[in-house]
Chains A and B, each alone.
Chain A
Amino acid sequence: MSERVKVTIDGISVEVEQGTTILNAARLIGGEIVPPAMCYYSKLEGSGGKCRTCLVKVSKGSEKDPRPMPKLVASCRTTVMEGMEVQNITSPEVKEARKGVVELLLINHPLDCPVCDQAGECHLQDLSYEHGSAATRYEFDRRSFERRDIGDKIQLHMTRCILCYRCVYVADQITDRREHGVLGRGDAAEISTYIEKAIENDFSGNVIDVCPVGALTDRTFRFKNRVWFTKPVDAHCNCDKCSGKVTLWYKGEDVIRVTARKDEYGEVESFICNDCRFEKKKTSDWVIEGPRKISKHSVISANHYEQLAPPPVIRKNPALKEANKEQFERVIRY
């Protein structure tokens, strides 16, 4: 029954199924026209619509009703229509609005990136680097909270939270009771477990992965190292609870952190259980698949020279080829 509709995003046409959101249609095209998303998470039902970073301009509503939409719309919540034309990065209005959204997200966010363990893989960092302004106009005290522990493995820094609700949806999805939610309203809203109760669930550690900022972090990784000094390696294990597909973060010989595998939008491929995440921190627990590919724009790939691009003289001269044999072999193995 699914009808295919044609939608044009920044001049690029794509055919998608009816009921797809603009954001997902843009992700089908890929590249830099994909609106950033802080709260939308494709694996979590009902997420999205909170952060407004994915705002786009609909310059033509549909084939039947070609009027543009009066305001910018959140692309994660707006479904496509036949003949819809969307502007994202081609619209200065969208860019301006996004800058405003980033400024509002940063109003209460402490700039403690040098201390924060998420730095280097933080979506808010990327977003504000790309869309935000360098200075703040906010003159008042930022709201601050005490650091709290949720269980013995997860730590909550409410100060850093941007209230994207992703972790709430994770908690809703993995349990049938409501264990984790948002208390308070407006400026007083905060993520919390009721009466500081630990989430007793095998998949509760996934709130760390879904958190776009450093609000929920791994206590076993706290201050261990900066992410860009660690080496990500794909590995798997036979786990009866989860898929067992993870990324191990090595520092030297030690696994200092285990996370699920995140794709280019920072979304995990599959949720992993707490045993895999917190307990199995030895190389012998895992079957190594190979180094994880990290975007070259990420700070994590800084100073990692995986691809050898030898000058022609080395490629042609047999003696030099022999001398650099080890490096060539390493490139082939990767």
Chain B
Amino acid sequence: MESLSNRKKVLEQKPMTFGEKIYLPSIAKGLAITFKHIFKKRETIFYPEQERPVSENWRGLHSLKRDEQGRERCTACGLCALACPAEAITMTAAERKKGEEGLYREEKYAAVYEINMLRCIFCGLCEEACPKEAIYLDGPFLEADYLRKDFIFGKDKLVEEPLKS
């Protein structure tokens, strides 16, 4: 059939000449290209030691934020879990006791907060759903591991480091 784009090239299959049949010129040409690349600038980086800069709207691993007084912002409202299309987020809420006002910002807090990183598709909908600005996908890549259970990140891995006074 006639090509619509007119960009189709018809290849002709001609029998190889003697020069082509002995392959040596082609091998030499190929090796020349390989050796030329030794002196060129390297395109790859050594990943775990070096990292490429990420864009401003990069979405990496989640982190649960603290407010300016170092209290956890998350109030376990469940909107991130509701918005999550992969159903990766689960949580259990608990009531803040007297004397814990310095730890949690709201009356209610997430006692357990788990994200299954194998389910997560890093879409960022949890970030958008959060009414308390508590979750952000500002971390690095997800690192490889051996066991599935190690990909379920709990609060120990998600919550930001406490403020240094």
> What is the interface of chain A, defined by CB distance below 8 A to chain B?
112-115, 119, 222-226, 228-229, 299, 302-303
Contact = CB atoms under 8 A, between A and B. Distances in A.
A223 B77 contact: no
Contacts of A119: 77
Nearest to A224: B93
Given A114-B131, A115-B75, A228 B82 contact: yes
B75 A228 contact: no
B78 to A, nearest CB: 4
A224 B131 CA distance: 20
B88 interface: no
B150 interface: no
Interface string B65-81: 00000000001111101
B95 A114 contact: no
Nearest to A302: B82
Interface string B121-151: 0000000000110000000000000000000
A154 to B, nearest CB: 16
9 contacts: A114-B131, A114-B132, A115-B75, A223-B93, A225-B78, A226-B82, A228-B82, A229-B78, A229-B81
Contacts of B59: none
Instruction: Tell me the interface secondary structure of chain B in the complex.
Output: loop
Contact of B77 (A115, A302, A303): A115
Contacts of B76: 223
Contacts of B93: 223-225
A299 B87 CA distance: 16
Instruction: Tell me the interface secondary structure of chain A in the complex.
Output: loop
B94 A226 contact: no
Interface of B: 75-79, 81-82, 87, 93-95, 106-108, 131-132
A114 B106 contact: yes
A229 B33 CA distance: 61
Contacts of A225: 78, 93
Contact of A299 (B75, B82, B94, B106): B82
B116 to A, nearest CB: 16
**Closest A-B pairs by Cβ, 3 of them:** A114-B77, A226-B78, A223-B93
A138 to B, nearest CB: 19
Given A223-B94, A223-B108, A303-B87, A114 B75 contact: yes
Contacts of B87: 303
A218 to B, nearest CB: 14
A303 B82 CA distance: 8
Contacts of A299: 82
B47 to A, nearest CB: 37
A320 to B, nearest CB: 25
A302 B84 CA distance: 11
B107 A115 contact: yes
Nearest to A157: B107
A106 to B, nearest CB: 16
